Amino acid sequence: MPCKVAPSLLSADFLRLEEDLKMLNQSDADMLHLDVMDGVFVPNISFGFPVIEQVTKICTKPLDAHLMIVEPQKFISEVKECGAYLMNVHYEACTHLHRTVGEIKEAGMKAGVTLNPHTPVEMLEDIIQDVDMILLMSVNPGFGGQKFINQTIEKVSRLKNMILRKNLNTWIEVDGGVNMETGKALVDAGADILVAGNFVFNSANPLETIKKLKEI
C-alpha cells in the first residue's frame, strides 16, 4: 500500500500561493500540511487563521492542521471552522492531553498528537488508543529545510511496534528533512504519511516529486 504524502504549505511561494495550491489540487498529494507557529512554543511565526481561510477557498485536499503553539485547546473551534480534516497538537504543549484530544474529536475532526525529537514514543502509552495519528518531528520544529535526525527511523519502528501490540490502526506521520532516501527508510520502518516541504516545492517538477514519494 503506497504511503500518503502531505506537502507542507510552509514551503510554498506565498507570492504565487494560488498557483501552488492549484498545482497541489492536480497532484497525487493526500493532504495539505499546515504548520501554524506562534513564536512562543517554537522560535518562529508562520501564518494563522486568515491565511488558512483563504487557502480553503482553493485547496481541495484535506487539511492537516499542525498547531505548534501554546494552549492549542483554545483554538479547536477556529481550526474546525477553517475546514480542517485533522487537528494535530503537541504532546509537550498540552497539560491535559486526553481532554484536548476528546474535544478535537467532539468538534468533528480527526485528532493527532505530535512529538518533538527529544520526546520518547513511550510517553504515548496511555493516549495512543484515543488518537487517529501520531506525528513524529524529524527536525526541531520551527523552520523548514533542516537536516533530518536519523534517530527518527528507529523511533518510527518503536512506535509501529506499540501500535501493532495494541492492535490499533493509528497512522504514523513524519515531518522534517523528508526526501527520497529518508522517505524510503521511514516507510520501511512503518511510517504511513510523509510531510514534505522544500523537497516538493523546490523541485523542478513538484507533481512528479509527489508521485515518486507516493511510490516509495
175 is catalytic: yes
Considering the candidates 20, 30, 132, 175, report the single residue annotated as catalytic. 175
Cα 121 to its chain centre, rounded Å, is 16
Considering the candidates 35, 64, 132, 192, report the single residue annotated as catalytic. 35
188 is catalytic: no
Q: What's the grid cell of residue 74?
A: 483554545
- What distance in Å separates the CA atoms of residue 27 and residue 46, rounded to the nearest whole number? 24
Cα 90 to its chain centre, rounded Å, is 11
CA atoms within 13 A on the CB side of 38: 13
Residues 6+ apart with CB under 8 A from 37: 44, 45, 46, 68, 69, 141, 142
Supply the residues annotated as catalytic. 35, 175
